[in-house]
Amino acid sequence: MDDNNIIPVDTDSLAQGWVFSVDKPLGWTSFDVVAKLRNTIKGRYGVKVKIGHAGTLDPLATGVLVICAGKATKMINQWVGAQKEYRAVFTLGGTTKTYDLESEISSTGKVVPIFSEKIKADIESKFVGLISQTPPAFSAIRINGERAYKQARKGIHIDMPERQITVYGLNWLNTNGKSWEVNISCSKGTYIRSLANDIGQFLGCGAYLSSLVRTAVGDHTISDSRPLAEWITLLRQD
């Protein structure tokens, strides 16, 4: 994305609003980033502005988080609905309750298959295109008015509703051993954690998401996103 498409941070921005393409730090929630930017804008301009993000990233994920503030929130839906791209690592031979590294790893004791053209074709025939996906119970989706992860942490069984999502492509980068690295392009609403778990089940050995970087949200890419600290510095400049 051309840097000219990013609304500049100056006094006129208070009237125009902001579009921040943030390279989200590891360990931060999407809400943490939104709150930090909201507080920085309030401290700089003395006003509280409307602000929101165009698609959640889990704390253990990094990469592109598009945030709109002020009048620019009118544009947020164009990025909420935009195609997303990720670079993920699936670790095979184990599972976790959260489908990632936020919970304890349990070894399945099953043999991890050797990647082959047949396995590649079998995975893509099952998981590329319009597919049904069940989101993880440990997610922020509201079930009966409460976040699903809050119920899951209480040990309450939740029947998560399936949703239709589209995986446009899987580009396998490294498939040696138990950790398989892949570039994924997909629609909004796709849970990469669920995709890892589902592929693990399909292969019969189990799998969980061990690393995730969102590399693009529409025309916002990781190469033209700024670290949060850099955005904070720009906002505080006179």
List pLDDT tens digits, range 135-181: 776 655 665 566 555 555 656 566 667 789 999 999 999 998 999 99
Same domain, residue pair 12 and 63: yes
45 and 99 belong to one structural domain: no
Q: Taking all residues of the chain, what is their mean pLDDT, rounded to a whole number?
A: 87
Whether the Cβ atoms of residue 82 and residue 65 lie closer than 8 Å to each other = no
C-alpha of 69 from chain center: 20
pLDDT tens digit string along 224-236?
A: 999 999 999 998 8
Is residue 100 located within the same domain as residue 199?
yes
Whether the predicted pLDDT of 51 surpasses 90: yes
Determine the pLDDT at residue 162. 79
Q: Which two tokens stand for residue 171?
A: 């580009």
Q: How confident is the model at residue 16 (pLDDT cuts 50, 70, 90)?
A: confident
Same domain, 53 and 69: yes
Sequence-ordered list of residues with C-beta below 8 angstroms from that of 11, at least 6 positions apart, any chain:
none
Kindly state whether residues 113 and 129 are assigned to the same domain. yes
CA-angle at 130, arms to 128 and 133, nearest 5°: 90
Please report, as a single letter, which amino acid is at residue 175: T
CATH code of residue 194: 3.30.2350.10
Q: What is the pLDDT of residue 2?
A: 45
pLDDT in tens, 91-134: 999 999 989 998 899 999 999 999 999 999 999 999 999 999 98
User: Catalytic residue at 238?
Assistant: no
Q: How confident is the model at residue 199 (pLDDT cuts 50, 70, 90)?
A: very high
> Has residue 8 got a pLDDT over 60?
no
SS (H, E, C) 27-40: CCCHHHHHHHHHHH
Same domain flag for 94 and 191: yes
On whether both 213 and 226 belong to a single domain, the answer is: no
Residues 114 and 199 in one domain: yes
Structurally, the chain folds into a number of domains equal to 2
Domain identity same for 43 and 132:
no
Residue among 58, 100, 122, 159 flagged as catalytic: 58
Range of the domain at 42: 3-81+221-236
pLDDT surpasses 90 at 221: yes
